[in-house]
Amino acid sequence: MNQYDSEKLEGILSARGMEPAGSPDKADVIFVNSCSIREKAESKVFSLIGRLAGAGNGRKPVIALGGCIPTLRGKEIFRSAPAVDLLYGPDSLEKLPAMLEEYFYTGKKQIDLEFSDSTAWDGPDPCVRPSDVTAWVGIMKGCDNRCSYCVVPDTRGPEVSRPVESILAEVKALAKKGYREINLLGQNVNSYGKTLPGSVTFPELLGMAEEIEGIERIRFMTSHPKDLTDRLIERMAGSQKICPSLHLPLQAGSDRILEMMNRGYTAGDYLEKIRKLKSAVPGITISTDLMVGFPTETDDDFKKTIGVMEKVNFDSLYLFIYSRRPATPAADFDCQVPRDAAHARFEQAWALHRKTVSRKLAELEGSTVELLCEGEYGVKSTKEKDDALITQFGRSAGGHKVIFEAEKNLTGKILSVLVTRSAGFNLYGKPAAERNAHGRRDKN
Ligand code: SF4
């Protein structure tokens, strides 16, 4: 979500004639887009601001701090981090040029942390996107859930769905520009439509997006397990464009902990949804978020998390140690888990995940997967024998990253690649064929 905000911010500033400076020392203004989901992310931002305050070779740049930290901490930041000149929230991006102008004119610190009912994307698409192939498309913002550990409902405000026409207009415009993949983005896409007049649902929105010519692949995130419906599973199963890949945050495998987290499902409910997904969408890849060290988590609770991991065999995992966040119910729970115990659980869960991924990726060696090439990959390796070959990467419909070499740049093309080896979290291969006819999906 922050990455998407940065793309919007860059577009809004470019439209006013601002240009990327290239380095902090050359910048007149530095925008810091912050995350407050975990304490570590917050501390990193404040230490970054400390360093940036000394940038500019004696000519301190204006520092604008945005994202979730300002909405969480408010104007107190001007006192604790005096180098900050502007504070803006996730809904204030479009006001930033005016705030900057006011700051330059008056020299007074500026703050705007208001939430807005409108979905800041109603006008023309402002994003400057790093890719010409795949694009985030925001469909909603905020969150009405109250998971006991999470600050997002406070930092991003209540849930607001973006009107269907506005979303479809953006997707059509992206298709016209040559984008082939969209990733529909929201804190909880499964509750899309609740704030809109009429009764459009997320599966219906997906159906309308699928109709748009030129878009070959549709992804979405994030799905809350409690709101994942049979209708969505059916839509995924019957689609040639919706990728067989789903991010479904589990958070914990113990029902007691899930209840304390206020997640609204049990481990059994979660596993049942995974069963339905795997049976309806063969080859589907599942990624998840897991948290270890939640207050009161015992070894037995943690074993239950490991148990679910062993049953699901997640393809990708965002693993976190619980971080105590201000003004959340969990911050007041007794019996915070000692850091050492939480770290040990983190290591154990991560080791299991790595083993699972290595095994699953090794199983793909020798198979052919269909990729959407996203661009060149990294800098040329010294091992590259032939300078004429371009190292590139793409993703399978299931989301596996595959690195390959080819004579011509295949960015934006869909091609078949023979997987020759796996290493780490990536696959390596060589092109087998480029596809002209669209609408087919690979199993990976
Ligand atoms: S669903 Fe829960 S974890 Fe996700 S943003 Fe909302 S409150 Fe936070």
Q: Provide the residue ranges of all domains of the chain, joining segments of one domain with +.
A: 2-112, 116-243, 246-364, 368-434
User: Which atom in ligand 1 lies closest to the alpha carbon of residue 150?
Assistant: 8
Neighbours of 222 (CB within 10 A): 18
Q: What share of the chain is helix, strand, coil (3-state, %, to 5)?
A: 35, 20, 40
Residue 288: how many other CB atoms lie within 10 Å? 23
The strand pair at 160-161 and 140-141 is best described as antiparallel
Q: Which atom of ligand 1 is nearest to the CA of 144?
A: 6
CA of 152 to the centre of ligand 1 (A): 6
Per-residue model confidence (pLDDT) at position 164: 93
**pLDDT for the residue 122:** 61
Residue 387: predicted pLDDT:
66
Give the position, in ligand 1's atom list, of the atom nearest the Cα of 224. Answer: 1
Compute, in angstroms, the gap from residue 5 CA to the centroid of ligand 1.
Answer: 18
In the block, residue with structure tokens 């091992």: 383
Whether residue 65 contacts residue 93, with contact meaning beta carbons closer than 8 Å, is answered with no
| Whether residue 263 has its Cβ less than 6 Å from ligand 1 | no
For ligand 1, pick from 68, 150, 222 the residue to mutate: most ligand atoms within 8 Å of CB.
150
DSSP assignment of 240-297: SSB-SEEE---B-S-HHHHHHHT-S--HHHHHHHHHHHHHHSTT-EEEEEEEE--TT-
153 lines ligand 1 (CB under 6 A): yes
Residue with tokens 């991924």: 357
pLDDT along the chain (444 residues), means of 10: 90 92 93 91 93 88 95 94 95 92 96 80 75 94 93 90 92 95 95 89 97 97 95 96 98 98 98 98 97 96 98 97 92 89 97 97 96 86 65 96 94 95 95 60 41
| CATH architecture for the domain at 116-243 | 2-Layer Sandwich (3.30)
Helices 202-210 & 230-237 angle (0-180, nearest 10)? 20
CATH of 2-112, one of 3.30.70.1060, 3.40.50.150, 3.40.50.12160, 3.40.50.1860: 3.40.50.12160
Q: List Cα–Cα distances, 57 to 21, 47, 52, in angstroms.
A: 14, 19, 11
Regarding the beta carbon of 145 and ligand 1, being less than 6 Å apart is answered yes
Please tell me the predicted confidence (pLDDT) of residue 117: 74
Name the DSSP class of 336.
P
Closest-CA residue, ligand 1 atom 2, reads 147
Same fold for the pair 2-112 and 246-364: no
Give the Å distance between the CA of 262 and the centre of ligand 1.
10
Atom nearest to 188 CA in ligand 1: 1
Give the CATH fold of the 246-364 domain.
Transcription Regulator spoIIAA (3.30.750)
Q: Is 188 in the pocket of ligand 1 (CB under 6 A)?
A: yes
Among 36, 143, 226, the mutation site with the greatest number of ligand 1 atoms within 8 A of its Cβ is 143
Smallest CA-to-CA distance from 301 within 248, 335, 256, 341 is with 256
